[in-house]
Amino acid sequence: MEELLQSIIGESWILYVLLAAPPLVFILVYALVTVWTEMKVSAHMQDRLAYMYTGPHGVLQPLADILKLLQKEDTVPAAADKPLFIMAPYLVFIGTYAGFAALPFSSAYIGSDINLGAFYIIAVSSIVVVGLLMAGWASNNKWSIFGAMRSAAQIVSYEIPTALALLVAVMITGSLNLQDVIRFQEGGILNWVVFGGPLPVVQKLLLLPFTLTAFLIMFIAGVAEVNRTPFDLPEAESELVQGYNTEYSGMKFAIFYLAEYANMYLVSGVAACLFLGGWSSPFGDFMSGPLWGVFWIVVKGYFFVFLQIWIRWTLPRLRVDQLMYTSWKVLIPFLFACLFGVGLILVL
Amino acid sequence: MEAVRTYFRDIWKALSSIAVGLSVTIRHLVRPAVTVQYPDVKLKMPERARNRLYVNIDDCIGCDQCALACPVDCITIETIKSTPDQDLGVTSTGHKKRLHLPRFDIDIAKCCYCGLCVYPCPTECIVMTDVYEFSEFDRHNLIYQFSAMKPDQIDDAKAKLKKAEEEAAAKKAAAAAAAEEKKKSEQPKQG
């Protein structure tokens, strides 16, 4: 797509804007859909109906919400550190959006086809922590700072299992470029890394327990990284009001929300690329191609988003010590075992 | 060794209980909702539900028993006696009506929906209905006036009663005067 656009409009800033825009458009549309899905799924899980009046089954409700948030007063507390307070939500969103640059959407489109794609996503999404800390600190509110501290501790702890689980997949595929990772898995559902990748059958069967474990841990760590229930300690509404975004209102609050939903898709998309073959079709050559690629990666990513929503409305929140226990004493040892096992099998 | 076993058992327990929880929520996800779209769809009230009071004023005999039974004194009844020449008719239960009802007010804002006024009514004219949507912007609108009498009718009834009372008083006075006269006329004979 880059070459095609370059041949049409040549080397200019418009080219880069056009290349950078699709993920943003996707995030905006996806966030609207997901806000609606989240409310509907949560309602039906509690045998309720949720919105029914704004359009058929309330499909226009997210638009109405946006309209409401746009009209709301954008308050900045008198005691807040104003520049930091205003910057924080944008920084959180930029951290998430930057991650989308290396996330492939189809065999023909990726924001930036860099060799260290997976590593770059892990690295750049750490900016989110800075944004959250900034929001908590600048709010000058004890709930906010508690939330920000918890969030920093949580994201720092859970980045290790995410990175290690990512390494398991990278060891099998042999590349950090997500496009290469996906091309490696092309050719049907059995070639996906979660089922051992396109390796000889014996190796596949031996790898299977390790890849499944790594995949599960990647998902758990992903849920923790986006601060969603059961890992929603940073914004635990029963304890901390709203955590780091307590003092935010109007559009700034909406940007935090948008960043959270975008982040949900980012971790889902990375998991789908590494373990579920990204844009490759599960039926081999059937239904494959650049446009079907968009369809498949969105379906796979959205499946994880749905899973996150499902888990959110099922499980209660963890305690802080349980959170740390899960990361340091369960996920990380298991991943070391996985790395060791996968390495051993691949060498033999 | 025991610690290792506990460690793995805890992990297994966590995973299996999460699976149980997820299966419960997914079953509820596909089950039809139990709630109804309230203002459009309304659930039928139970037969003996106690909501807004209604008074069938045609059947009321003005006995004041409901007002006496009310624990919050939200019922106010005023009556005017009818004169013998007036016929107020009978209630649907066959009681003869003897009192005009210029005022029968229920302050539904005070009402506690206990239903104690319903039981003593001899003609079953005060009843609980299934109406529960009657909020108002002004509290005074919640004082329901059930009396069917117009102001001129009230004045008329009052005037008639006064006239009848005056007539009766005059009659009584005349009778007393007559008795006095009789006494006086009888006295000299004795003397």
| Pick from A30-39, A134-143, A323-332, B179-188: least confident | B179-188
Over residues B152-174, the mean pLDDT reads 87
pLDDT at B188: 63
- The answer, yes or no, to whether residue A121 has pLDDT greater than 60, is yes
Confidence of residue A2 (pLDDT cuts 50, 70, 90): low
| Pick from A162-166, A185-189, B63-67: least confident | A185-189
A310 contacts B18? CB cut-off 8 A: no
Confidence of residue B190 (pLDDT cuts 50, 70, 90): low
A45 contacts B33? CB cut-off 8 A: no
Segment A169-203, tens digit of pLDDT: 888 888 888 888 888 887 777 778 778 777 777 77
Q: What's the per-residue H, E or C state across chain A?
A: CHHHHHHHHCCCHHHHHHHHHHHHHHHHHHHHHHHHHHHHHHHHHCCCCCCCCCCHHHCCHHHHHHHHHHHCCCCCCCCCCHHHHHHHHHHHHHHHHHHHCCCECCCCCECCCCCCHHHHHHHHCCHHHHHHHHHHHHCCCHHHHHHHHHHHHHHHHHHHHHHHHHHHHHHHHCCCCHHHHHHHCCCCHHHCHHHCCCCCHHHHHHHHHHHHHHHHHHHHHHHHHCCCCCCCHHHCHHHHCCHHHCCCCHHHHHHHHHHHHHHHHHHHHHHHHHHCCCCCCCCCCCCCCHHHHHHHHHHHHHHHHHHHHHHHCCCCCCCHHHHHHHHHHHHHHHHHHHHHHHHHHHHC
The question of ipTM being above 0.95 is answered as: no
Over residues A132-161, the mean pLDDT reads 86
Q: Tell me the whole-structure pTM to 2 decimals.
A: 0.77
Listed by start position, the domains of chain B span 1-30, 53-152
Segment A283-309, tens digit of pLDDT: 877 777 778 888 888 888 888 888 888
Whole-number percent of chain B with pLDDT over 90: 7
Ranges A136-150, A241-255, A313-327, B11-25, most confident:
B11-25
| Dihedrals phi, psi of B75, to nearest 5 degrees | -105, 130
Between A321 and A199, the more confident residue is A321
Architecture per CATH, domain B53-152, reads as 2-Layer Sandwich (3.30)
List all residues of chain B from 61 to 90 with a beta carbon under 8 Å from chain A.
none
Question: End-to-end distance of chain B based on CA atoms, in angstroms?
Answer: 134
A315 contacts B35? CB cut-off 8 A: no
Segment A40-69, tens digit of pLDDT: 888 888 888 888 888 888 888 888 888 888
Segment A211-264, tens digit of pLDDT: 888 888 888 888 888 888 788 777 777 777 777 788 888 888 888 888 888 888
Residues of A in contact with B29 (CB under 8 A): 41, 44-45, 310
Ranges A107-121, A255-269, A276-290, most confident:
A255-269
Instruction: List the single residue in A with minimal CA-CA distance to B32.
Output: A47
Confidence of residue B137 (pLDDT cuts 50, 70, 90): very high
Q: How does the average pLDDT of chain A come out, rounded?
A: 84
Confidence of residue B189 (pLDDT cuts 50, 70, 90): low
Least CB–CB distance from B22: residue in A43, A44, A314: A314
- List residues in chain A touching B: CB distance below 8 A: 41, 43-49, 52, 310-311, 313-315, 330
